[in-house]
Amino acid sequence: ETGVTQTPRHLVMGMTNKKSLKCEQHLGHNAMYWYKQSAKKPLELMFVYSLEERVENNSVPSRFSPECPNSSHLFLHLHTLQPEDSALYLCASSQDGTGMSSYNEQFFGPGTRLTVL
């Protein structure tokens, strides 16, 4: 595997289900991101992990719970979702330095298409 991989590629779940999305990066990067892409809306950042610590959370509902056990893996745990949460969920990674001026290019995975019934 190369680059950034995501599983599953497609997921259909009911509002009472609990599921998890998985992301793995094979680039040796130290920062990982979850983005949400809804129909006809720009991509929105959900979570950022840098050096395995969550550094930003843009007021995402608590029904989304991220987990980053190491620098190569990122999970998004889902529970009691709403139909409006149906979207393409994209994972990305980058190699960041210690200062803001060293933020570098982000590489994206293929995404998980989530449908909440």
Partner 1 sequence: KQEVTQIPAALSVPEGENLVLNCSFTDSAIYNLQWFRQDPGKGLTSLLLIQSSQREQTSGRLNASLDKSSGRSTLYIAASQPGDSATYLCAVRPGSARQLTFGSGTQLTVLP
* Contact footprint for partner 1 (CB under 8 A): 4, 6, 31, 33, 40-43, 45, 48, 50, 55-56, 58, 88, 90, 92, 96, 100-101, 103-111, 113
For partner 1, give the closer residue by CB, 43 or 79.
Answer: 43
For partner 1, give the closer residue by CB, 32 or 78.
Answer: 32
For partner 1, give the closer residue by CB, 15 or 103.
Answer: 103
> In the complex, what is the shortest distance from the CB of residue 108 to partner 1, in angstroms, rounded to a whole number?
4
> In the complex, what is the shortest distance from the CB of residue 23 to partner 1, in angstroms, rounded to a whole number?
11
For residue 83, give the DSSP letter: G
For partner 1, give the closer residue by CB, 32 or 116.
Answer: 32
DSSP codes, 21-57: EEEEE-S--SEEEEEEE-TTS--EEEEEEETTEEEEE
> In the complex, what is the shortest distance from the CB of residue 25 to partner 1, in angstroms, rounded to a whole number?
13
> In the complex, what is the shortest distance from the CB of residue 60 to partner 1, in angstroms, rounded to a whole number?
12
Tokens of 48: 């950022």
φ, ψ for residue 106 (rounded to 5)? -95, 140
Please state, in angstroms and rounded to a whole number, the distance separating the CA atoms of residues 1 and 75.
Answer: 18
- Four-CA torsion 44, 70, 65, 36, nearest 10 degrees: 20
